[in-house]
Amino acid sequence: MRVLVTGAAGFLGCHTGRILVREGCEVHALVRATTDLWRLRGLPEVRMAVCDLNCRESTRAYVNALRPRMCYHFAWTDGRDLNSFDHTGFLRSSIDFAQALADSGCERFVGVGTVHEYGASQAVLTESSRLAPHNLHAASKTALATALRQIERRSGMKVTWVRPFYHYGPYEQPRRLVRSVIDALRQRRPARTTSGEQAIDYLHAEDAAAGICAAAREGLPVANICSGQAVAVRDVVLRIGQLLNAVGLLEIGALARSAAEPPFICGDNRLLRERTSWRPRFDLESGLRHTIEWWLAQGKAE
């Protein structure tokens, strides 16, 4: 199958690309000229093309020439500012991109949303939980999902919408929790975190990518990509410290917790489990061990 992946050089995108290559797909990646391709090293099978999704004409020309059967759309702004108007720009370009794919005969579009489409809730979140996006990033993702359903109704292109929860693992960004703590401790620096009282649903990135591929393969309209279990952030940090024999370098509570951080986020993954053959390879313990070993093998951080 000829598959197009946008954002293939990103965290979840690179893991998804690797799975697709292993499955024997003809994988094409759409990247921007300024994209750092370090996550795609060792993947010569991925055929890369430079194209900016914000350029409607060149994107449509590329899609019409390639004519992929399936597209995984990870590309988005980096998300550091969750209320940047860059999110609305990616919303507009993503709608144009999806329409171009539908016009070219693409059979399935896999859109990647976010757990934050649900907003803050003390309940375990299912795919039918009320949507209440509380920043421009989540609102733009929710709007894209709605627009994609309209494109689906007007064309032959089916849509799978996935909502990844929190994930960690190889190739993670330096600013994220697990990577930042590992980086500090392996360099024998103090790892400063918040008190970590909030309980969060964490899933290894390889399992998250496998879940996304499984949802697409089985044609699920929507799916949570999560572990189904919430764990205290403090316990995650402590376990990393124990695995690296550096608990003494942990400074838990040294940073103030953001008021925007929810106290509890946990997803229900029964739909993914029941409708596909997906099962996570890693529990939190084995996932953290695998991640630490992977980063230690890389030497100096990217």
Cα–Cα distances (Å) from 122 to 142, 235, 270, in that order, read 20, 19, 18
User: Beta-carbon neighbour count of residue 9 at 10 Å?
Assistant: 24
Q: Note the pLDDT of residue 230.
A: 97
pLDDT tens, 63-110? 999 999 999 999 998 878 999 999 999 999 999 999 999 999 999 999
Produce one character per residue of 132-162: b if its CB has 16 or more CB atoms within 10 Å, e if not: ebbbbbbbbbbbbbebbeebbeebebbbbbb
Residues 6+ apart with CB under 8 A from 151: 95, 98, 99, 102, 109, 157, 159
Q: Note the pLDDT of residue 78.
A: 80
CA proximity to 60, closest of 110, 7, 96? 96
What's the one-letter identity of residue 101?
L
pLDDT tens, 4-27? 999 999 999 999 999 999 999 999
Question: How is the beta sheet containing 2-6 ordered, strand by strand?
Answer: 47-50, 26-31, 2-6, 70-73, 108-112, 158-164, 222-225
- 98 phi and psi angles, rounded to 5 deg: -60, -40
What's the one-letter identity of residue 183?
D
Residues 6+ apart with CB under 8 A from 3: 20, 25, 26, 27, 28, 68, 69, 70, 71, 72
* pTM for this model (two decimals): 0.96
- Where on the phi/psi map is residue 76: left (φ > 0), alpha (ψ -120 to 50), or beta? beta
Measured CA angle at 157 (ends 132, 58), to 5 deg: 90
Radius of gyration for the chain, computed over Cα atoms and rounded to the nearest angstrom: 19
- Which domains does the chain show, CATH number per domain? 2-164 (3.40.50.720), 173-201+228-298 (3.90.25.10)
Residues 6+ apart with CB under 8 A from 216: 70, 72, 108, 110, 160, 162
Q: Note the pLDDT of residue 258.
A: 84
Q: Note the pLDDT of residue 111.
A: 98
Q: Note the pLDDT of residue 257.
A: 87
- pLDDT 10s per residue in the chain (302 long)? 999 999 999 999 999 999 999 999 999 999 999 999 999 998 999 999 999 999 999 999 999 999 999 999 999 988 789 999 999 999 999 999 999 999 999 999 999 999 999 988 889 999 999 999 989 999 999 999 999 999 999 999 999 999 999 999 999 999 999 999 999 999 999 999 999 999 999 999 999 999 999 999 999 999 999 999 999 999 999 999 999 999 999 999 999 988 778 899 999 999 999 999 999 999 999 999 999 999 999 975 44
